[in-house]
Structure 1
Amino acid sequence: MDAPRVLGNFVVWDYVVFAGMLLISAVIGIYYAFAGGGQQTSKDFLMGGRSMTAVPVALSLTASFMSAVTVLGTPAEVYRFGAMFSIFGITYFFVVVISAEVFVPVFYRLGITSTYEYLELRFNRYIRLCGTILFIVQTILYTGIVIYAPALALNQVTGFDLWGAVVATGVVCTFYCTLGGLKAVVWTDVFQVGIMVAGFASVIIQASITQGGISTIISDASNGGRLNFWNFNPNPLQRHSFWTIIIGGTFTWSTIYGINQSQVQRYISCKSRLHAKLSLYINLVGLWVILICSVFCGLALYSRYHDCDPWTAKRVSQADQLMPYLVLDILQDYPGVPGLFVACAYSGTLSTVSSSINALAAVTVEDLIKPYFKSLSERALSWISQGLSVLYGALCIGMAAVASLMGALLQAALSIFGMVGGPLLGLFSLGILVSFANSAGALAGLLVGFVISLWVGIGAQLYPPLPERTMPLALETYGCNNTYNGTNLMTTTEMPFSTSAFQTHNVERTPLMDNWYSLSYLYFSTIGTLTTLLVGILISLATGGRKQNLDPRFLLTKQDFLSNFDIFKKKNHTLSYKSHPIEDGGTDNPAFNHIELNFTDQSSKINGTRL
């Protein structure tokens, strides 16, 4: 092909499409600020009054998953390393089943608002505080990456000032999230997921036309070694293989769907447990659609540039800019369509960041304010929640500066979830699945798991694995047929793996670096989870965990699974979970009313209606 051409910037219609998406998102926030009397209580603001249904919640879960990290990072991942990433489709199935059948029954039964309320009910207040702080740190870091990613896209395809775009993203998210609360977040997500699918579809259709059909794209990908689906190498040091994606990916994404406040807050806002579970299973279809679209865009990216890599040709400065480069390359003759793609990336960011801001406000109110300031009215708490949304929006914008130093966006995002989310997943699993786990075991397991996760995660940032571990695929420039800045481009290169500013150079490699620090980033979460579980079980047994008298509502039981089949029974049995303690505007979570875990009245109330 010819050398990559210098691309133009946005035209008027691109700005119109882009601005229209922002305007509609803002209008939805304004609507829910006043609809139904507005956000009168903190539960209206944080939980949507616990009246949501399965379909909008499912679309919201999907939209939050599909951040700009997915829109930009996944196609670049496939371009660099091949279509093995599509194996995550199997991983998503396991993640959804685990979330729906292990975590939903317990969280929904207790009627919690903050996921970390469970830790106080099951263990004690100090462990709840540890979980809350870890979540806040993790979410602010991750959200910084999510804000920074579309700013890269805007900067590449429009010439917008990078940090002006970062600030604009955070301000718009904070605006409609602060005004409308969870309902605005969910319904804005429903609108934005449509924009995202349309953006992907426009790229896929035009790329297929430009390249001469889907068969040509597949053929080019095959010839370039990109259809590398089935690599069954069990070596945990290999970055991506069937086993690292299935095992490590399941642990990593379970931290997001199973226990992360941003996701849990959505499905426990549903009006019944059935709707909560359905929202996850419907969402699974959305995850598969997104995965197929993003992987195919990666293959189209390779087909277009298989003989003239834009990065080697210095047309883009980072791998995450490849996708917006493709968009202007093949769509700049269609006014408004490049704007649709950038709106697609921007929509992913708005949905993810708004849910993060809402979740951060929820855990702060429920875990750090209500237990210590019990005299505050619901109206006051609602105002505090809105104020916290503004504060966290500003913090997330600030953290985008840190994200700019973290290199490849997709891996950086998943690494953060692995390092922090893994020990938290182990902690919740310990409480829900291990009846004899006690607070001493939980605290010891969390601390050890967190230290181990940080050790391997930070070590991997400082001393990235060698190419034989990451296995980047070759990129060609023989088709460019020219020189650029005096450099002969008729070469073959391998795209460098790490662009982390934290990387230590010119250091002699040691066995620790080549083994422990070269562990696949997907196993960060696995290591953290299993370490927390193992240490927690051993310490609990050593400190008399078997002697404690535990309320069975805090554990997953056989009845929780069997109750799935109650839908086939008579109607009066299928509605028994309508006794959700918050569902009808009833009591607050018992953590605030019975802090000594004296649940006699509530137990009789729930046990009488429990499935």
Structure 2
Amino acid sequence: MADGYSINTGQKRTFGILDYVLFSLMFCSSAAIGFYHAYKDRNKKKTEDFHLGGRKMHPIPVSLSLSVTFLSALMLLGTPSEIYMNGTMFYWIVVAMLIATAGAAHIFLPVFYRLNKTSCFQYLEIRFGKVTRTIASILFLIQTLVYMGFVLYAPSLAFEAVTGVSLWGCMFGTAAVCTLYTTLGGLKTVLWTDSLQFCIMIAGLLAVLIEGTKATGGFSNAWDIASDNQRIKFDDFSFDPKTRHSVWTVAIGGSFFWLRYLYGINQAQIQKACSLPTLRKAQVAMWLTFPGRVLIVTLTVLIGVVMFAFYSQCHPVKFGIVNKNDQLLPLFVLDTLGTVPGLSGVFIACVFSGGLSTISSGLNAMSAVLLEDFIKPFCCRSVVKKHGIFMSKALVVVIGVIQFGVAVLISRFSGLILQFSYSMYSITAGPIFGLFVAGMIFPWTNKYGAPIGFLASLAFMCWLGLGALIEKPSGYKPLSTYTSACNWTAVGKSPPVKTLAPIINGSTTTTEESILYDFYRMSYLWYTGLGMIICVGVSLLVSFLTGYMKPSAIDSRLMCPIFDIMFPFLPENILKPLRFGVVYDRNEKNMTKDDSTKYDVEQSLM
């Protein structure tokens, strides 16, 4: 890659001193927050203080942390590239976020909050037994490690594109700093560094949008250019699940993904919400995340529109300035912000802020799951009681080393990181999501149906995801890009030569497609919903065949009266059968009751 070259002149642009200073300040500030909380909490010995902030956190830092966690550099880099290559249909994801926020705050969060446990997978043991909890926890660890590898790789890719610094060196430095401050301060550090990083992300995105708009002659002009090239589109209402991004695919299919991935049953997010002293405050914090997420997504979409207008007649990948579409935004920053001292540094700090917030949350969450779901139940319970915080910190360090290795492997892949990371995460997200849905919504699910449904869903989704990855069925094509205005002489290259497909007997050659190709063409955004449906369906079938649970025998605190929440205006004679025989008291149906009491459900069932 011709690192740091202007698309038009071929002149090399690099980071200035001010850029490096501003970029470094972000890392130093994050580390300083970690040292501060390590010193402040040096006398605290409970693992609850490390993983849950002592359950005394304030809604503002929690909501800011929830807003940025798992949006990360993947969205900051991937969304503008997505809009550039495929248009604005992806913006319907804000509807999916709204649905997911409501579902998380009022369906899943109340159950976890009352459970009063550090790991969300402890619910599965209470509901279905230790086997189900263990296999789900293992899958979560693998899933999160892979996703964190993507998150570590993405900002390092951007930094390499802007500065030419080694990709592996960037990843190592980021992993080391993030592991350091997470180890020092635990969840409190994660929340406060995320709050700082939220502000940096907004500042960086605004800087790119403002300067990019100036460079394209105003936003209305950029919008017109993008519209003339079919980038502006919001009205694809196709019901075909093979449509990559339709209204239903993004808004409905995406809501399943975001409910699992970001809101409802994400261990890192549940830990943060449960760090608040009352359920009402936890729900308020959850709802406060929605405006922040919409703001970030809107800014990245608008940047994608402006970025396309800027490169509409000279696509940088075809021109050979960058190798991957995911490097388009860093190049755009060089061409628009590179002449203003410090702004490139602000942008790179913005991208790394997204990555750090996700990695730190993942490290803390994985440390909690390893401690609570594996070390405590199987060995060393007495040692954990005395040295739990030390063991938690040691686990963070070990996980940090492993995730660096995973990121190195991921750096060997190519393609749009946003779609690829979504696809890989969705393969495993659906089965895990299905377990919790089967447990909280359907009281008949028993200890045999849940693990069998989970494994059946996982096997099916692995087959679908890996089959689509290996076969790479045709059907989806990015929108057209052009190189008519590229200055090929400036970089010493020749324009590409167009070639025609070979023609045999007067027609273009075709290959016979497998009947599975249509299935493999399913949009990646439906993966989570499909996996959830398979898991719930098989779980219920096996449960009825092996002796289903009696709803009246289930502790109602493990269940969610979903129809009472969704349709509270319905009369009692309609709502009663919709509770499936589970007996709830008044307070359990009123999920927004401001009650700081946390019930230890596990102890009540023993």
TM norm. shorter chain > 0.5: yes
Cα distance in structure 2, aligned partners of 1:34 and 1:172: 18
Deviations 1:35-54 (A, max 9, x none): 14454211100111111122
1:248: Cα distance to partner?
Answer: 1.5
Secondary structure of 1:391 counterpart: helix
Q: Which residue of 2 aligns with 1:521?
A: 524
Tell me, yes or no, if structure 1 residue 577 matches structure 2 residue 595: yes
Range 66-75 or range 376-385, more displaced: 376-385
CA contact (8 A) 2:209 2:306 kept: yes
CA contact (8 A) 1:255 1:417 kept: no
Q: Which residue of 2 aligns with 1:606?
A: none
Q: Which residue of 1 aligns with 2:226?
A: 221
1:371: Cα distance to partner?
Answer: 1.8
Change (3 A) 1:129 1:574: closer
Secondary structure of 1:5 counterpart: coil
Given candidates 533, 555, 563, the residue that maps to 1:551 is 555
CA contact (8 A) 1:69 1:410 kept: yes
Q: Which residue of 1 aligns with 2:37?
A: 32
Q: Which residue of 2 aligns with 1:375?
A: 382
Counting aligned pairs with the same residue, the percent is 37
Given candidates 3, 14, 17, the residue that maps to 1:12 is 17
Cα distance in structure 2, aligned partners of 1:541 and 1:325: 57
Tell me, yes or no, if structure 1 residue 540 matches structure 2 residue 543: yes
Q: Which residue of 2 aligns with 1:323?
A: 329
Range 241-250 or range 426-435, more displaced: 241-250
Q: Which residue of 1 aligns with 2:428?
A: 420
CA contact (8 A) 1:262 1:359 kept: yes
Cα distance in structure 1, aligned partners of 2:98 and 2:294: 9
Cα distance in structure 1, aligned partners of 2:277 and 2:543: 36
Cα distance in structure 1, aligned partners of 2:568 and 2:18: 50
Deviations 1:539-583 (A, max 9, x none): 111111144721111101269749999xxx9xxx987621114xx
Cα distance in structure 2, aligned partners of 1:489 and 1:306: 17
Secondary structure of 1:515 counterpart: helix
Q: Which residue of 2 aligns with 1:496?
A: none
1:511: Cα distance to partner?
Answer: 2.6
Q: Which residue of 2 aligns with 1:498?
A: none
1:374: Cα distance to partner?
Answer: 2.4
Range 157-166 or range 555-564, more displaced: 555-564
Alignment of 1:580-595 (within 5 A): 580-581=598-599, 591=602
Given candidates 62, 65, 70, the residue that maps to 2:70 is 65
Cα distance in structure 1, aligned partners of 2:543 and 2:385: 38
Cα distance in structure 2, aligned partners of 1:230 and 1:464: 27
Secondary structure of 1:164 counterpart: helix
CA contact (8 A) 2:200 2:350 kept: yes
Secondary structure of 2:481 counterpart: strand
CA contact (8 A) 1:482 1:489 kept: no
Cα distance in structure 2, aligned partners of 1:165 and 1:507: 44
Range 276-285 or range 367-376, more displaced: 367-376
Cα distance in structure 2, aligned partners of 1:80 and 1:490: 21
Cα distance in structure 2, aligned partners of 1:51 and 1:301: 43
CA contact (8 A) 2:182 2:363 kept: yes
The one-letter code matched in structure 2 to 1:525 is: T
- CA root-mean-square deviation: 2.4
CA contact (8 A) 1:7 1:328 kept: no
Cα distance in structure 2, aligned partners of 1:44 and 1:564: 37
Given candidates 387, 397, 420, the residue that maps to 1:390 is 397
Q: Which residue of 2 aligns with 1:308?
A: 314
Q: Which residue of 1 aligns with 2:172?
A: 167
Q: Which residue of 2 aligns with 1:361?
A: 367
Range 115-124 or range 377-386, more displaced: 377-386
Gaps of 5+ in 1: 494-505, 582-588, 599-611
Tell me, yes or no, if structure 1 residue 103 matches structure 2 residue 94: no
Alignment of 1:433-448 (within 5 A): 433-448=441-456
Alignment of 1:118-133 (within 5 A): 118-133=123-138
The one-letter code matched in structure 2 to 1:385 is: S
Change (3 A) 1:511 1:243: farther
Range 509-518 or range 534-543, more displaced: 509-518
Q: Which residue of 1 aligns with 2:291?
A: 285
Cα distance in structure 1, aligned partners of 2:433 and 2:217: 46
The one-letter code matched in structure 1 to 2:454 is: L
Q: Which residue of 2 aligns with 1:189?
A: 194
**TM-score, length of structure 2 as denominator length:** 0.90
1:404: Cα distance to partner?
Answer: 1.5
Range 405-414 or range 484-493, more displaced: 484-493
Cα distance in structure 2, aligned partners of 1:561 and 1:517: 36
**TM-score, length of structure 1 as denominator length:** 0.89
Change (3 A) 1:440 1:507: farther
Cα distance in structure 1, aligned partners of 2:592 and 2:543: 37
Cα distance in structure 2, aligned partners of 1:531 and 1:446: 8
Q: Which residue of 2 aligns with 1:454?
A: 462
Cα distance in structure 1, aligned partners of 2:540 and 2:9: 58
1:376: Cα distance to partner?
Answer: 2.5
Cα distance in structure 1, aligned partners of 2:201 and 2:594: 38
1:516: Cα distance to partner?
Answer: 1.6
Deviations 1:328-360 (A, max 9, x none): 111111111101100000111110000000000
Range 212-221 or range 35-44, more displaced: 35-44
Tell me, yes or no, if structure 1 residue 297 matches structure 2 residue 303: yes
Cα distance in structure 1, aligned partners of 2:365 and 2:7: 48
Cα distance in structure 2, aligned partners of 1:74 and 1:286: 16
Range 483-492 or range 16-25, more displaced: 483-492
CA contact (8 A) 1:406 1:412 kept: no
Cα distance in structure 2, aligned partners of 1:334 and 1:564: 55
Secondary structure of 2:520 counterpart: coil
Change (3 A) 1:7 1:228: farther
Range 253-262 or range 399-408, more displaced: 399-408
CA contact (8 A) 1:17 1:343 kept: yes
Gaps of 5+ in 2: 1-5, 501-508, 570-586
CA contact (8 A) 1:255 1:425 kept: yes
Alignment of 1:227-238 (within 5 A): 227-238=232-243
Alignment of 1:347-358 (within 5 A): 347-358=353-364
CA contact (8 A) 1:115 1:261 kept: yes
Change (3 A) 1:69 1:366: same
1:379: Cα distance to partner?
Answer: 4.1
Cα distance in structure 1, aligned partners of 2:121 and 2:191: 22
The one-letter code matched in structure 1 to 2:394 is: G
CA contact (8 A) 2:441 2:562 kept: no
Change (3 A) 1:295 1:182: same
CA contact (8 A) 2:449 2:542 kept: yes
Given candidates 403, 406, 411, the residue that maps to 1:399 is 406
1:261: Cα distance to partner?
Answer: 0.7
CA contact (8 A) 1:83 1:295 kept: yes
